[in-house]
């Protein structure tokens, strides 16, 4: 976990979550508000030992809508926590 870990608010939209994950440092918390976060293709977490949390903002109901892809942990020691978020792969 980085001593520089931060909490990042991520706006709903297509590609916003992927950009936030790609730019996140180990220990960061990505906070999602109500809305749909479109993911087309894969979100790959490729940094070894990266710790990342994706969580709903208080009272929010965010949906990660994945079409033709997935969220993949592709390195040793990666830890991903997802809390209060619906993941919909039906698209």
The 10s digit of each residue's pLDDT in 29-68 is 999 999 999 999 899 999 999 999 999 999 999 999 998 8
Instruction: Tell me the Cα Rg of the chain.
Output: 12
Query: Backbone dihedral region of 13: left (phi > 0), alpha (psi from -120 to 50 degrees) or beta?
Result: left
The pTM is what?
Answer: 0.91
């Amino acid at each position: 976990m980085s001593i520089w870990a931060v909490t990042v608010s991520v706006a709903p939209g297509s590609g916003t979550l992927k950009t936030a994950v790609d730019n996140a440092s180990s220990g960061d918390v990505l906070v999602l508000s109500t809305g749909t976060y479109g993911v087309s293709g894969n979100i790959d977490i490729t940094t070894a030992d990266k710790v990342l949390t994706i969580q709903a903002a208080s009272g929010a109901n965010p949906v990660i809508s994945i079409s033709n892809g997935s969220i993949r942990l592709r390195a040793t020691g990666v830890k991903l926590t997802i809390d209060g978020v619906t993941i919909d792969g039906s698209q």
